[in-house]
Structure 1
C-alpha cells in the first residue's frame, strides 16, 4: 500500500522564518485586535477548519464511507459498462441511475488503483477492494463534523505578524485545501507569529444565499448559522411547501418519457402550477397539493397533462432535488434558483441596454413590438422602427427568490407587463421571466436601424416666465452610434427641416420663444444632404427655485479659541460647498449693503481673518441672472482640551481634512486621509491608490464625546472601526481612546493646507 501526504505549507513556514530574520523588511504596524486575530484551537479556527475540511459524504454513492472521498477522475464498472466519473455532475447521474434501477448496494466496481482523500486532505493509494473495505470498516460515521452547508468565497488573505506585532507578510489563500492546511499549521505559542484575517470576507450558503462579514465574530456566527441544514432534507410537508414555491424546478429524469427532460415546473402559492418548455407555457390551469399519509408524503398534481396527473410519492428530498415515483414511473426534479441563472444583476443590466429586444408572452400580442432599455431607467416600447408610442420605467432588484425585473409607469400594456417579473433564465441574447402564471420571453435584436435610437424626446429646464436656455445636443444622449458621414441638425419648424433651411447654428445655447416649444431634428448625410432620420424635441420650461440648496443650509462656521488673542481665520468657501457648483457666481461681503450692491468683495474668502468672536458674513449668489443673499455666521468657541462638546467636535472635523499621525505610537497609517462630509454621515478615507466610503457619527455621553466609525474596509485601516472617546480636543488635533480598550489610541491632526 502506498501512502502519500500533502504538506501544503512548507513554503509558507519557510517564508515566515525568512522574513522574521530580515529586520530591514519588517513593517511596523499596530497590534491586530481580537476581531482580526486567528488563534489556534479557538472556536473560529475550529469552525473554519470544519468548513474547509474535505467533505467525504459528497460521494457516498461511490464508496459508502463518509470520512473520506475518492479522488476524481475514477473509472468504475456498472453492469459491465465502464464509466469515467470526472465531476460532481457525473456523481449525480450515477445516483440517478442507481435510484432508477433495482440494483443492490454493490452495484459498481472500481478499476484499481484509486486514491482516497481524508478530511485533512491527506491521501492514500488503494490497490484493491480488500484494502478499500478495511478503510470503509474503520470509517466513523460522523464525517469529522464537517460543515458542508456554507462555502468561503476565495481569494481571502491573512496578515502575518511576528511576536512584536510587526507585519512580515500577507498570505493569499485560494482554496479550501489551502486554508485547511494553513489553519493546521497555526501554533498557539506567544513566541511565534500572529495571524490576522483581512476583512471583508464573503460566504455562500448551499441554498443560494450569500453574506459579507467584517469581523471574527460575524464570521463565526455566519458559519454556525449554516449548521447542517443545507436544504430540504427531511421531506416534511412545511419544508417541502416552502421549497416548491421558492424557485422553478427542472425535470432532469422521467423514466418512461425522456422527452419531458428539460421541462420546467413552477409552483405558485395559490396552489396552481405551470409547465414551461423553451420559455413557452402550456395553456391550461393545473393544481398541486401535498398529502401526508401513513406511507409518507405525496405530491398531488391535477392537470390535463395526463402523464403528470396523479399522486406522486416523494421518496427523496435532499440537496434541492426531489425524487418522485408513480405507478412504476420515476421523475426527478432539480430546484433552479438564482445561482442557476449564470448572470449577475450587473450582467443583466448591461445585457438589457446593449440592443433592442423582441418579446412575447406566448399569445402573439407583441409580435411587431420591441423594448429598448435606457441607462436612465426609461423603457420604450415601439412597433417596428416607428417612434416610441409607449413609455415607462424599468428597474432590477435582488431578493432571496432571485433577480427581478420591474416595469412601472407604463403608458400602455399595463395589464400585460406592469409589475415584478422573476428572471428564471438568462443568456446573452435571451431572457425568460415569470410573474404569477405568466411567462415573458425577451430575445435580443441587435440588427436594428442605425438611427432608430434617436426618438421623439423632451428637454426640461428651469426658467423665468416660461423662458430658458437649452442645450439641444443633450436630447437622446443615450444614443451613441458612430455617425461617421452623418450630422445632427436642428430647426424651428418642420418645413425648414424638409427644405433644410434656417438651421439653428448654436444648438448648445438655444433660447426658446414659446413654452412649450417643438424643435425638429434631422440626421443628414453631410455629402449628399439627404435626410435619413427625423425626430422631435419638446422644450418645456418650469419655474424653479435656483436657490433651494442654499436655503437648506444652516451656514455656521466655528473655530476653537486657542488663546492667541489675535485674528481668527475662516474658510468662507466651505459654508455652501455642496451648493456652489450650481451657481454662476458667488462672492462674499462684510455687510448686507455691500452684498446687495455687489461691492467691496472679500478678495480671499478661503482665508478670511476676523478679530471678533462672533460675526456675520454675507454670500451673494448669482444663478441664471437671478441674485439672492445668504448669511454665514462665524463663531469662535472655547475648546478646552478633552472638554469639547459634540457640536465642537462636529465643527472641527468638517472644517478640514485629517490624517492619523499616530496609532498606538506607530505612523504606519499616516498615509490615510479622512474627509468628513457635512450632514451625510459619510467619511471618505483615501490614499493615493484606494478610496473607502465609510460612515461616522458623534454622540454626547457623560464621559465625553464619542466618535463612531463603521464600514471601514481594507487591510490594516479596518482597525479604526468602533467607538472612540475624545480625550483631548483642539482645532488642530484630536486624541481618541478606544471605548472598549483604552490602551488603543488614535491621534488625528488636521491637514487644512
Structure 2
C-alpha cells in the first residue's frame, strides 16, 4: 500500500523559480529564521503534505495519486458493478479470497480527482495508464507527496516583503486551502509558518512543532513510518501465501514464561484456506474450525477466531507477527507481550 500522492506540474515549476534576490534571502533570514521563499525546502515540504490523498481506493485503481469519483462502473473479479456510489462492494469482492489474482476492469469514461485537487475525465485505459505511469515516475524521482503526516488546522501563514518586514497574515483551515496557497506563491513572495503547530503521524503519535527545523524532523519521521507501512504490506502478502500453501502445527504456546503447549497438539495440524477459514485436523478428522484474517500497519497481524474446541479457542487473539519464514511463524499477543505462539510447518 503506497501512501504517496503526485506533485502537480505547477508545484514542480515552483522548484526552479529561484532568482538571485531569493538566493540572498535564503542566506540571510533577517529577524525571522523561519522566513521562506516559494522554492524553499519548507515550501516544497508543505506542498507535499497538503496534497489530496488518493490512496483510499488503491486496491481498485492502482494509483495513490488520484481517486475515482462516484458514480463509477467496473468489473471486479468477474463481477459487474454499475454506477457504484462507494468503494465498499468492490473492496469486499477483492478481499473474498486470500492468495488469488485480483482483476479490475474499469469502465470509461470516468472522472478522477488528482493530487492537485483538479477533477479530470479519463476516456480510455491508455489515458489512465499514462496517469498511473506518471504517478510511478513521481514516486521514483522523489517527488511524491507525504500522506503520513497531517497538520492540525487552523494554522496561520505570515507574509513578508523583500526586506523581511511582515506585511500580513492568512489563516488556513484545510489541506486544500494550504496547498492552493503554496502553489500560488510567486517568486517575490516570502512567508513563514506561525508556530507552534500540531502534527499527527500515521502511527497516531502527535507532536508540537515550533520551527521549520522541527517540521523537517517530523517529516523525516513520517517518511520512516511510510517505509515501515509499505514493508508491512509486502510482508503481509508473503505470509498470506505461506499460510495458504502450508500445513502447520502448534510448536510452542508460552504464557508468562511458561510453556503451555501440551501433548494434545502433537498430532494435530492447522490448515489455512484461501477463503479465510482455518481448521485443525487429527487423522483426517476435524477437531476445530474457525476463521482468520490479516491486517497491517507498521507491523503485520494475524487474527485467529476458533469457534469450537477450547484447546484452540485459547488461541483466539490478535497476534503480532514477530518473525516468519516458510517453516516457522513466531507470534506475540498484540495486547500482552508475555503471550507467544509459534507455528511450524509440517
Task: Give the superposition deviation at 1:57.
Answer: 4.2
Aligned to 1:158: 157
Taking the aligned partners of 2:172 and 2:318, their CA distance within structure 1 comes to 36
Residue 47 of structure 2, aligned match among 28, 46, 49: 49
- Give the Cα–Cα distance (whole angstroms) in 2 for the partners of residues 70 and 76 of structure 1: 14
SS at match of 1:172: strand
SS at match of 1:227: helix
For the Cα contact (< 8 Å) 2:48–2:146, is it kept in 1?
A: yes
- Contact 1:56–1:69 at 8 Å: present in 2 too? yes
Give the whole-Å Cα distance in 2 for the aligned partners of 1:174 and 1:96: 34
- C-alpha contact (below 8 Å) 1:6/1:122 kept by paired residues: no
Residue 69 of structure 1 and its aligned partner are, at CA, apart by 1.0
2:273 is aligned to: none
**1:297-308 equivalences in 2 (<5 Å):** 306-308=288-290
1:557-602 Cα shifts (integer Å, max 9, x gaps): xxxxxxxxxxxxxxxxxxxxxxxxxxxxxxxxxxxxxxxxxxxxxx
Going by fraction, where is helix more abundant, 1 or 2? 2
* Distance in 1, Cα, partners of 2:229 & 2:158: 39
CA contact (8 A) 2:111 2:120 kept: yes
Structure 2 distance, partners of 1:325, 1:41, is 51
Q: In the TM superposition, what whole-angstrom CA distance separates every residue of 1:232-278 from its partner, at most 9, and x where no partner exists?
A: 54359xx99xxxxxxxxxxxxxxxxxxxxxxxxxxx99489xxxxxx
Report the counterpart of residue 107 of structure 1 in structure 2. Answer: 104
Q: After TM superposition, list the pairs within 5 Å mapping 1:614-653 onto structure 2.
A: none
Structure 1 pair 48–322 and aligned structure 2 pair: CA distance change class (3 A): same
Q: Distance in 1 between matches of 2:207 and 2:162?
A: 33
1:70 corresponds to which of 64, 67, 71 = 67
Deviations 1:517-573 (A, max 9, x none): xxxxxxxxxxxxxxxxxxxxxxxxxxxxxxxxxxxxxxxxxxxxxxxxxxxxxxxxx
Report deviation, 1:211. Answer: 0.5
Q: How many angstroms does 1:205 deviate by?
A: 0.8
| Alignment gaps of 5+ in structure 2 | 1-7, 11-29, 237-253, 259-277, 281-286, 306-315, 321-334, 339-346
Partner of 1:173: 172
1:39 to 37, 40, 53: 37
Alignment of 1:471-550 (within 5 A): none
Change (3 A) 1:334 1:146: farther
Q: CA deviation at 1:82?
A: 3.2
Deviation at 1:320, TM superposition (A): 7.0
- How far residue 117 of structure 1 moved from its aligned partner, in angstroms, is 3.2
Report matched runs for 1:252-651 at 5 Å.
270=256, 306-308=288-290, 317-318=296-297, 322=301
Partner of 1:149: 148
Q: Give the paired residue count.
A: 240
Q: Measure the CA separation in 2 of the matches of 1:436 and 1:333.
A: 11
Please state if 1:117 is matched with 2:99.
no
Q: Indicate the SS of the match to 1:120.
A: coil
Question: Which residue of 2 is the match for residue 206 of structure 1?
Answer: 202
Which structure has the higher relative contact order (CA within 8 Å, separation 6+)?
A: 2
1:61 aligned partner: 59
Closer, same or farther in 2 for the Cα pair 1:115/1:269, shift >3 Å? farther
Larger Rg: 1
SS in 2 for 1:146: coil
Partners of 1:194 and 1:108 in 2: how far apart? 47
SS in 1 for 2:147: coil
Q: Which has the higher strand share?
A: 1
Q: How far 1:153 moved relative to its partner?
A: 1.0
Q: Per the alignment, do residues 436 and 59 of structure 1 end up closer, same or farther by CA in structure 2, a change over 3 Å counting?
A: closer
Post-superposition offset of 1:170: 1.5
CA separation of 1:154/1:62 partners in 2, compared to 1, >3 Å: closer, same or farther?
same
CA drift of 1:333 comes to 7.1
Measure, in 2, the Cα distance between the counterparts of 1:154 and 1:200: 12
Aligned to 1:663: none
Distance 1:47 1:270, change over 3 A: farther
* Matches of 2:257 and 2:116, distance apart in 1: 47
Post-superposition shift, 1:334?
Answer: 11
With normalisation by structure 1, the TM-score equals 0.27
* Structure 1 residue 135: Cα displacement: 3.0
